[in-house]
Structure formats: C-alpha cells, structure tokens
Structure 1
Amino acid sequence: MADKQLDVKPAEKRAVEAYSKRRVALREEYIKQITNPHRHGTGEGGILFDSGIQRFMSMRATEYDHFKATPKTSLYGLGFVVIPIIAYGYMLKSSRDAQEHKYRTGQVAYKDRRFKFV
C-alpha cells in the first residue's frame, strides 16, 4: 500500500525502475573496472577511459579558445567586475572625504581621531 502512487502510471513506474536498475548496474561496473588492481597485467594501465569525462575536460581546457563576446557577456563583465569596483572606490572616497572634512572643521577633537600617531 505504501508504494502505491496514484499519479504515476504502471508503465511509467516500470520505466523508471528499469532506468534505475540500469544506472546502478553501470555505476557498479564502472567502480569495478576503475578499482581493479590487476588492470596493469592486461596492458591497459590504471585508468578507465570515459568519453563523457574526456569531452568535459577538453571543453574546460579550451573554453577560452571558443569564447565569443556578446552583449550579454559584456553586461556580465560590466555588472560583476567594473561596477562593483567603481562603487567600492566611490564609497571609500566619499567616506574618507566626509571624515577629513570633520577633522578639518574641528568637529572631531584630535584625541578622538582614529589614526593618531604618537
């Protein structure tokens, strides 16, 4: 009664279970092959070639060779690099100018200043 799902048809449920079994079997076979200590005896070496992982690693190694600047990537660069740096610089300058103005107009006594050198 607990495994009865009303929103899933029996055919869909069988397909999902078959996919799950296939995936578990492939995972176990991969782990068995990759951890086999006797692979060196067959001349294969200690690695297992996986074409999907190789494509991913090749893509990561050459992604900048195939980069194409578009308006979207330019806006990302502007929004995540240039604007925060300019905003942070403006914030630092305005806060330091305000503090300097208070020092020069006498609103802060010398003994209360933050960076007093003795």
Structure 2
Amino acid sequence: MADKQYDVSAKEKRLVETYAKRRLALREEYIKQITNPHRHGAGEGGILFDSGIQRFMSMRATEYDHFRATPKTSLYGLCSIVLPMLAFGYLLKTSRDAQEHKYRTGQVAYKDRRFKFI
C-alpha cells in the first residue's frame, strides 16, 4: 500500500508505466547498438546514425544562414540586451549622483567618505 497514489488514476498510472517501460527498452537497445564491438564486421562503421540528432546538429550549424530579422526578434534583442544595460546605467548614474550630492552639500563627513562608493 506504500505506492498507492491518490492524485493519479489507475489508467494514468498504467500509461506512465507503459511509457517508462518503452523508454527503458529503447534506451537499452540504443546502448546495445552503440557499444557493440562487432559493428565494424558488418560494415556499418563505429557510429550509430540518429536522424533526429543529425537534423538538430545541421540546424545548429546553419542557424545564421536561415535567420531573418522580424519585429519579434528585434523586440527580443531589445528587451533582453539593450534595455537591461540602459536600466543598469541609469540606476548607476542616479545612485552616484545622489551620493555626490550628499558629499558636496556636506551631509557626509570626510571620515565616512573613504571606500563608500556605490
């Protein structure tokens, strides 16, 4: 009774177990094929060709050949690169200007100024 789950129905549990068994079987077959020392005798060579991995690697190699600037990609670049830099620069400038104003108006004593940079 320790493995009884109340938030999962019996049908969902069977589906998950079936998926796990199928995944384990595919994984074992892949490992068996990849580590077979007699593959060279069949003329197959020493690698296992996986079309999905090959498509992914080809896509990564030619990513910039097929890139096209759109408003969405431009906005993404603006929001992820330019705006954070500008916001950090503004924050840095305003905090340093406020500190400098305190120094110039005498609100901070000379002895407290040393190594107190923001």
Task: Give me the identity figure in percent.
Answer: 80
Indicate the residue corresponding to 2:41 in structure 1: 41
Indicate the residue corresponding to 2:77 in structure 1: 77
- The gaps in structure 1 that reach 5 residues or longer are none
Instruction: Report the TM-score when normalising by structure 2.
Output: 0.74
Deviations 1:15-49 (A, max 9, x none): x94x6655444332221101112223334332101
Indicate the residue corresponding to 2:86 in structure 1: 86
Indicate the residue corresponding to 1:29 in structure 2: 29
Question: Per chain length, whose mean CA-contact separation is higher, i.e. which structure has more relative contact order (CA < 8 Å, sep 6+)?
Answer: 2
Whole-Å separation in 2 of the counterparts to 1:103 and 1:109: 8
Whole-Å separation in 2 of the counterparts to 1:26 and 1:20: 10
- The gaps in structure 2 that reach 5 residues or longer are none
CA separation of 1:111 and 1:21: change in aligned 2, threshold 3 A: closer
Instruction: Report the TM-score when normalising by structure 1.
Output: 0.74
> How many residue pairs align between the two structures?
107
Q: RMSD value over aligned CA atoms? A: 2.6
